[in-house]
Amino acid sequence: MSASLASWLKPTSKGLYCALGDFFIDPRWPVARAVVTHGHGDHARRGNGHVLATPETLAIMRNRFGEEAGGTLQPLAYGEALRLGEVTVKLVPAGHVLGSAQIVLEHGGCRAVISGDYKRRADPTCAPFEVQHCDVFITEATFGLPVFRHPPDEQEIARLLHSLRLFPERAHVVGVYALGKCQRVLTLLRRHGYGDPIYLHGALMPMCRLYEELGVALGPLLPATGAKRGDLQGKIVLAPPMAISDLWARRLPDPVIAMASGWMRVKQRAKAQGVELPLVISDHADWDELFQTLHDVAAPEIWVTHGAEEAVIRQASLNGLKARALSLKGFEDDAE
């Protein structure tokens, strides 16, 4: 069954290509027809002729790329089926960031699921991952090593709030990616009862506004730029990862440098980035979530891409699955 699937779904230098529908999934270079899993920069790129994605992903692409988001943008809501050439395409929630989708392709009784990036734990900013049984499941492997086991989010947020109580004179600067992580940290803080205004680096503001327009409430937000030094004492400031080790952060009152990322599990990595308070909060499946997912989707065959392919393939084979690496280029292990 999968032998025939391999004849119409193939890795190419531009990305994964579906020959029966004549489109690329998350293409690396501009193509005539693209189907995009989610808005992160290594999946959604500018300049494609026609883009099919969830309405939220298209809104994110327009927010980031403006006119260059694509020639024509076609929204497809979660769960709706669309015929493209000889395949049926469906988008279902991937639980990764707002609008993120798994792409479900069906042809001749064979079903393939391209999961893009995903996670299994609850995230108040997006729809939860939906299990789709399939014949071939294409999984990411960003945190595909047994060392990566993410702790509960609540525990990490509690550590941040504890530090804030311990150091009421210090600003707490948290490095977060602009799409997804930023809004997730905001909503987790709100759920913990933190109601103070949270200060944002200017680069984070447009995506937060868009999330709010799309119905994700984030609570009171203020721009960090222009705020008086004294105002930021004992406050939380979110900034892109690049800014936290920069001059920008040093202007803040005696900052505690924190960072919210699955990579914070690796102590050397936190240290190299000058992070004093590493928070292990990830938008990708950890080792246990990866294998829980492989179990749940019950696909006899697994294709593994971006990340620690080897370890996942080895473990999947031990579990009796047929697994192989899908060598796709252009996905950054950092983009989370």
Smallest gap, in angstroms, from Cβ of residue 171 to Zn ion? 28
Q: Are 76 and 89 in contact (CB under 8 A)?
A: yes
307 dihedral zone (left: phi>0; alpha: psi -120 to 50; beta): left
**What's the rounded Cα separation, in Å, for the pair 17 and 105?**
12
CB of 241 or CB of 255, closer to Zn ion = 241
Q: Are 99 and 60 in contact (CB under 8 A)?
A: yes
Smallest gap, in angstroms, from Cβ of residue 83 to Zn ion? 27
Tell me the DSSP string of 10-37. EEETTEEEETTTTEEES-SS--SEEE-S
Token representation of residue 104: 């479900």
Smallest gap, in angstroms, from Cβ of residue 165 to Zn ion? 33
The interaxial angle of helices 153-166 and 181-191, nearest 10 deg, is 70
**What's the rounded Cα separation, in Å, for the pair 140 and 312?**
10
Q: Are 243 and 203 in contact (CB under 8 A)?
A: yes
CB of 39 or CB of 255, closer to Zn ion = 39
Identify which range of 39-47, 80-88, 307-315, 322-330 contacts Zn ion by CB under 5 A.
Answer: 39-47
**What's the rounded Cα separation, in Å, for the pair 229 and 244?**
16
* Binding status of residue 33 toward Zn ion by CB under 5 A: no
Q: Site map for Zn ion, 111-130, x if CB under 5 A?
A: ------x-------------
CB of 38 or CB of 90, closer to Zn ion = 38
Smallest gap, in angstroms, from Cβ of residue 206 to Zn ion? 18
Identify which range of 33-41, 164-172, 182-190, 228-236 contacts Zn ion by CB under 5 A.
Answer: 33-41
Smallest gap, in angstroms, from Cβ of residue 97 to Zn ion? 6
**What's the rounded Cα separation, in Å, for the pair 44 and 58?**
9
Q: In residues, how long is the chain?
A: 336
Smallest gap, in angstroms, from Cβ of residue 264 to Zn ion? 17
Query: What are the C-alpha distances in Å from 198 to residues 50, 132, 175, 224, 274?
Result: 38, 38, 13, 9, 22
Query: Can you tell me which of 28, 33, 40, 181 binds Zn ion, judged by CB under 5 A?
Result: 40
CB of 117 or CB of 301, closer to Zn ion = 117
Smallest gap, in angstroms, from Cβ of residue 229 to Zn ion? 35
CB of 40 or CB of 107, closer to Zn ion = 40
CB of 38 or CB of 265, closer to Zn ion = 38
CB of 100 or CB of 187, closer to Zn ion = 100
**What's the rounded Cα separation, in Å, for the pair 222 and 77?**
33
Identify which range of 18-26, 32-40, 56-64, 168-176 contacts Zn ion by CB under 5 A.
Answer: 32-40
Identify which range of 38-46, 153-161, 162-170, 256-264 contacts Zn ion by CB under 5 A.
Answer: 38-46
**What's the rounded Cα separation, in Å, for the pair 96 and 57?**
12
How many residues touch Zn ion under the rule CB under 5 A: the total is 2
Smallest gap, in angstroms, from Cβ of residue 320 to Zn ion? 27
Smallest gap, in angstroms, from Cβ of residue 60 to Zn ion? 11
Neighbours of 307 (CB within 10 A): 21
CB of 100 or CB of 315, closer to Zn ion = 100
CB of 301 or CB of 336, closer to Zn ion = 336
Residues that bind Zn ion (CB under 5 A): 40, 117
